[in-house]
Amino acid sequence: MIRIPRFVTGLTVTALIVLWSCVSVGAQGLKIGYVQDDRIYQEYGDWVKAQEAWELERKAWDEEAATMQEELQELSTEYEKQKLILSDEKRSEREAAIRTKEEALDAFTRQIYGPRGTAEQKQSQLIQPLLDKITRSIETLAIQDDYDVIFTLQGIGYIKENYDVTDKVLELLNELED
């Protein structure tokens, strides 16, 4: 998982707060909070369990790939030792067997670790429901305790809809096109 350095995220949050305060001079009593993502990841029990399950899966895939790599290496080493005394037919058979093992290892690696591979799907399956739950918890807290904005150290976790100026920006963009 990609982690943004704390200094950068802290600086970003501070800059956003200062900017938000300057933009909304008329908004008195703006209530802002923040969530430390890293603490959530360390202390939320379901997240820790999901990470442990992920590590078990990853370790099993790594071990399977290592086994396949060892078999390929043994086959290649044995072939190199014997290739001078093998007939052309046997040499071709061994080379084909080595290519087959290489292709199997490459296919396995792509299937597991490639784009939209098994690893990515498993991580999403484990993590996405928890991210949704964390987001719902932040939104519930924001509404319950009347926060205007709640930042996470990786971005914005919640912001009241009445601060959304997207329609106004789109309107100005459309006016500029004319």
Q: What is the pLDDT of residues 97-123, one digit of tens each?
A: 999 999 999 999 999 999 999 999 999
What pLDDT is recorded for position 172?
A: 81
* Contact between 34 and 159 (Cβ < 8 Å): no
What pLDDT is recorded for position 17?
A: 53
For the chain, domain boundaries: 6-177
Which residues have a Cβ under 8 Å from the Cβ of 54 and sit 6 or more positions away? 122, 123, 126, 127
Question: In the chain, which residues have pLDDT < 50?
Answer: 1-4, 7-8, 11, 15, 18-19, 22, 24-27
Q: How many Å separate Cα 13 from the centre of its chain?
A: 21
Q: What is the pTM of this model?
A: 0.66
Of the candidates 35, 57, 80, the one whose C-alpha atom is nearest the C-alpha of residue 127 is: 57
